Every structure is written in C-alpha cells, then in structure tokens.
Chain A
Amino acid sequence: MTISDRIKIFGWLLWRSLMILRQNIIDKLIDAFVWSTNYILINTYIMPYFGLNEEYGSFIWVGTIVTMAFFESIYGASELVSDFDNEKIIEYSLTLPLPASWIFIKTAISIALDSAVLSIFLLPLGKVLLLTRLDLSNFNIFKFVIIFVLMNIFFGFFALWIASWARDGRNFSYIYRRVVNPVWIFGGYQFTWFVLYKAFPHWGLLLLLNPLTYAFEGLRASILGQAEYINFWMCAGALVAFSLFFAWWALVWMKKRLDYV
C-alpha cells in the first residue's frame, strides 16, 4: 500500500461522510436557525432593557457561532458512542486497508466538517438578525478563516476524545453535564477573558487551560477586532496545541477501548 493509496481511501471515507451530511443538512440548518436565532434576538433586542450594553448582541452572535460548532461536534461524539454500542459501523472501517489512526483522524475531520458547515451558516444569519447593530469594520477575513478552521478541527478531536472516554450512552450523559457543559460555559460564551481576569485573576489564569477560551477569544478577535480579546495568534497556536494533545489522547484511549490492530 503506497501513501497515495492510503490518501485515496481516506478521501473516499471523507466523501462518504459528506454524502451522509447531505442527507441531514436541511434538518440541521433548521435546527441551527431556530436555536441561534433565539439566543441572538433575545441578547440583541431584549437584554439591553435589562441594562446590558447594546453591543452585547453582536458579542453573543460570535459566541453563538462557536457554541453551534462545539455542540454539533459533541453531537458527533454522541453518535460515535451510540455506534460503538449498537451498529458498530466503525468496525467495518477498522477492517479496511488503512491504519486505524487514519480512520480516527478521518472521523474527527468528518465531525469538524459537520460543525463547520452548520456554524458558517450563522455568519450571514447574524448579519440579517443584527442589522445596523453589527459593526463589521474590524472583520479580518484572513484571520477568520484561520481560526474558524482551527476551531472546528479542535472540536473534531475533542469530540473524538469524549467518545473514547464515554463507556456508553448513560456515561456520555454524565460527561456531557460534568465536563462538556462547564467547559463551554466557562470558555467565555457570555464574557471576555480580560474582564474575568480583572475581576478574578486566579480564575482567569485557570481558564487559560480551557481550550474553548481560545476559540471564543480568537473568533471574536477576527470578527470584532483584537482590542478586548486575547492575542489572535496566541489563540490560533493554543488551538493547534490542544488539537494535537487531544488527538494523541483520543487515539491512546480509542486503542484501549476498541482494541484494534
């Protein structure tokens, strides 16, 4: 088997994932529309009457893009756990002429593609919902593409890691409540890292260990401007490092869990 043969098989596996995504895309987009519209509309048009800054809507909109991608990837992890427990489609992939590590990297990239397709949809949607309240004068397309790709790849590997961990569906629900939700809410969906750091420095330092901090801060820096957020390149670097770390960890645990050749 040459490396180009392996790349071809890898490509066909990815193509298959896209075909499967195509089957669900309309339902997924409707879900994304309903879910994100609620958050954006309430934070933009209602919360200012409770004393929140007028710009909070656009701040939350960027956070909603990250959130949509993150939870879509966690849904991918739940599907993987369900597959381990039921149909075991993964076992077919593990008997193909391709190293198991490639199969799992492909799985993470498939999850990343799913989350990217859904979350990119929120970009034009936000503009429509926020109208003149959205200031895109600091939008940097180059930085946006970089952080968007890195963020989704990280989510793919994080989802793989969660799936390698969860023993079954019930255990997955524990992990969801005890790990996934805290990681998301303390990642900075509703606040910036600098504001938190000024108020609670130790807490702020601790949250530098949370990979979602870099996804939220990096995406906001690319869309809303660098001023109030962690340095963009630091966010990008951290997401690369976390992706490598979780990919390695997920592969070690998958090997333990699925006992493949």
Chain B
Amino acid sequence: MMHCSQKNITKRFAISGGFFEALSDISLTIFKGEVLGLLGVNGAGKTTLSSIIATLHPPTEGDILYHNRSIYDDVYTYRRQLGFCPQRPNYDKLLTVRENLIFAGRYFLIPEDILFERVEELMKQFDLERYAHSSAIILSGGYKQRLILARSLIHHPQLLILDEPTVALDPHIRRQLWDIILGLKKSGVTIILTTHYIDEAEILSDRVCILDKGRIRLIDKPANLLSTYNKKRLEDVFLQLLQD
C-alpha cells in the first residue's frame, strides 16, 4: 500500500552567481510498513530529501503526497503523523531527559495521563531510565541518539525519518540502535533511513534508493541488486555504481 510519494521533487539553493541544484526531479514511492534506505556519498542529496519529506524545507518544485493528498494542503496534520530524527541531536540540553520527552509529547497534544505512561515506556525501551532526571547535557553520543529517537516516537508516528542515526557511534551502540529500528519496523512503522553505511542499509532496509548528485541512480530490494550486479555485498554494488 502506498504511504508517501514524492513527485518530481527539485531543490535549488541560491549560491553566488547562480543556483546549485541539490535534488533533480526526484520521484519516489514509499510503501506502508517498509524501511527505505537512502544511500549516497556526501552531497548526494540524502539529507536534503529527508528534510523536505520532514517538512523542514520546501521543495523548489514538485509535491509530496501522503495518502494521496498533497502534504502542503494541511502540513500540520501531516506533521502529527511524522517523526523526524535529525542528524544532529537537537534536544534541550538544559532540560532533563524526562522533561525533553514530556514537552515533545505536549507539542503533539497527548493528554497528560497517557503522556506520562508513554514517557516511562520510551525511557524503558531506550534504556534512558537511569538518566531520567539528569540534565540531558551529560548524555554520551549513543544516549543522545536514543533520546532524539525516543522523542521522535513519542506521538506514535506512522512515518519515521531517520537521518544518519548511527553516524559517529561506536559499533556496539550502532548494533543496539539497529535492534531498535528493526523493532519499530516489526511494529509497522514506515521508516526512511538515510545513511552512508552500506552494511546498515543492507541489514535494515526492505529497499534501497541510491542517490547520486541529486538524482536517483537506482531503487530496488538489496537482494535484487546483488543478483543484478552479481555481487556478494551491497557495498560492492555501490562502488561499481560510483565507478560507472
């Protein structure tokens, strides 16, 4: 079932003496309950595309349909269905971990009695309980990611955008976050996962979309890509595409 689709998305940024086209005519459909891995080298347009889907920035051209309706017709209702976990942990450092989650829930108008239960549930799920009453400024890298992931899930979003969620994390913490993402997938959340770790995309994604210079090079299931290119690892497919 179609969940969200991007129609001819183009994004241009003004630079001195003209424009830089970060995304060119991107059309892409995301199906309900799938994990779509967005892959590409630095500057390929992954973060630009995910931030447009997250409604952080508007496209220069094109539209995004959610349940067959333009999100720009009612962007606030769309945002209530959406969880966005950005690349940089942008939580309130002067609030405690618990307060960060409580305020996130309040912004989505979750009734207080349900909210407090949800906060406890998420703190347990993400192993944040021991830091509940600590100022969030003390969190280490892995726990920062856990906090913003927990925050993005507070309102039970149907569509979750994870922008480089495991960048610069230790391998064992990456694995822990993978387990969390796989758990979310099992619970039926549709996930857009931006990453430049090919192994991560291969393990977590139902389909991968490889972006290059703002265009979609290909989009398919990892297994299909391996057989089409006759490779054993997705990383080899990716490298061959770059050479081509």
A interface residue numbers (CB < 8 A to B): 1, 5, 8-9, 12-13, 15-16, 19-20, 23-24, 87-89, 91-92, 94-99, 259-261
Contacts and interface: CB of A to CB of B under 8 A. Distances in A.
A92 B86 contact: yes
B55 A95 contact: yes
A95 B90 contact: no
Interface of B: 54-58, 72, 74-77, 79-80, 82, 84, 86, 88-95, 99, 103, 106-109
Given A94-B56, A261-B56, A88 B90 contact: yes
B45 to A, nearest CB: 15
A259 B58 contact: yes
A20 B94 CA distance: 6
A109 B103 CA distance: 18
21 contacts: A1-B76, A8-B109, A9-B106, A9-B109, A12-B107, A16-B103, A19-B94, A23-B94, A24-B94, A87-B90, A88-B88, A91-B56, A91-B86, A91-B90, A92-B91, A95-B56, A95-B84, A97-B108, A98-B107, A260-B58, A261-B57
Nearest to B99: A19
B79 A96 contact: yes
A5 B77 CA distance: 12
Given A97-B76, A98-B76, A261-B58, A20 B92 contact: yes
Given A88-B86, A96-B107, A260-B56, A16 B79 contact: no
Given A95-B84, A261-B58, A89 B107 contact: no
Contacts, number: 71
Given A1-B76, A95-B84, A16 B109 contact: no
Contact of B79 (A12, A23, A89, A95): A95
B145 to A, nearest CB: 14
A47 B76 CA distance: 58
Given A5-B109, A87-B89, A96-B79, 5 more contacts: A1-B74, A19-B95, A20-B92, A98-B107, A261-B55
Contacts of B90: 87-89, 91-92
A97 B92 contact: no
A190 B94 CA distance: 37
Contacts of B86: 88, 91-92
Contacts of A98: 76, 107
A16 B92 contact: yes
